[in-house]
Amino acid sequence: MPHPLADDSAGAITDVPGIEVGHHTDPRRPTGCSVVIARQGAVAGVDVRGAAPGTRETDLLAPGNLVNEVHAVLLAGGSAFGLDAASGAVRWLEDNGVGLELGMARLPLVPAAVLFDLAVGDARIRPAAAAGHAACAAAGTQPPAEGNVGAGAGAVVGKMFGMEHAMKGGIGSASVRVAGVTVGALVACNAVGDVVDPENGRPLAGARTPDGRALRDTRRALLAGEVPHPLLAGSNTTIGVIATDARLTKVQAQRLAVAGHDGLARSINPVHTMSDGDTLFTLATGRAAQHPGMMVLATMAAEAVARATVRAVLAARGLALPDGLQLPAHADLHPPI
């Protein structure tokens, strides 16, 4: 039977008023980037949990620092090279009149985070400024494409026992609405661990058995004494954006990003490892008249992140590369009945 989140009922981050999403995908490798735009500005926060992050302009989101609002968040493949894509997003936003008015110029503020996908195809191909510009030009309020697109194009999950046993990751989105307030998430999942069903902990995609036909269950395998494959530092990461139409302070936005990592912990096992750079941003547009309180919002954020992470692997499609690397997707190991 299909997973309950396999259809469009999960919603999307663009259900949040004032939020747009655009992808750019480079099919040559594949790799790409994704942008979440708040044209009118959004109160922002960030929480970095992984030990190997690749980020840009996260310091300005600290609650004690001056800047209160940003205009977009960019997620990209390409490891540190992919941070260059944010420059293209800044240029597009400036050209379209979006940014902080300084008098002599309008300055778009675009924090960014990257994931490591250089092991998938030709590492010389990675998102640059033109890719960030193209992602912005493609942005809209419709539900974004999921799976092998944008920042999820080259994402892989379940690498604990080597790439030859891994599976295709991707990018996914979901939303939750309670008491007139919406919280949505966009997550690009490139985790070293397995993606698991938050309801029962069963693996959905991740490290496969030696014959490649079933899931190994990384948690159980490690606890049983199986030795993990040597991992290149920083070669994994799950990155994402939480958005809400609730009115938040900068401190509350940062706390919502913290709570979002609970969703990663429910849907990825293991998570926040020394080889992951897990980073979540928050954008609060403040368009909702209601505020259900931070306890409810935090619960909604964790739920949206967990659902979006599951969507990332359910929407992914298998990949076969010229060098012989085969990355099946969830649908390949769990065909519809």
How big, in percent rounded to 5, are the helix, strand and coil portions of the chain?
A: 25, 30, 45
pLDDT 10s digits, 180-207: 999 999 999 999 999 999 999 999 999 9
Tell me the two tokens of residue 301. 């954020």
Across residues 273-277, what is the average pLDDT? 90
- Taking residues 214-222, what's their average pLDDT? 96
* pLDDT of 115 strictly over 80: yes
Per-residue pLDDT, 337: 45
d(CA 237, CA 157): 9
Largest CA-CA distance found in the chain, in angstroms, rounded: 63
Mean pLDDT of all residues belonging to the chain: 94
Return the domain boundaries, the chain. 8-321
pTM over the 0.85 mark: yes
Torsion, Cα 5 8 13 15, to 10 degrees, reads -130
* pLDDT at residue 270 is higher than 70: yes
CA–CA separation, 99 vs 76, rounded Å?
21
- What's the average model confidence in pLDDT over 264-285? 95
**CA neighbours closer than 13 Å in the CB half-sphere of residue 187:** 40
Position 8 pLDDT exceeds 80: no
User: Mean per-residue pLDDT for 2-23?
Assistant: 88
State which fold the 8-321 domain adopts. L-amino peptidase D-ALA esterase/amidase (3.60.70)
Mean pLDDT, rounded, for 266-295: 95
pLDDT at 183: 98
| pLDDT score of 1 | 61
Asked whether residue 22 carries a pLDDT value surpassing 90, the answer given is yes
pLDDT at 23: 98
| Parallel, antiparallel or unpaired: strands 237-244 and 181-190 | antiparallel
pLDDT digits (tens, 9 = 90+) for 145-165: 999 999 999 999 999 999 999
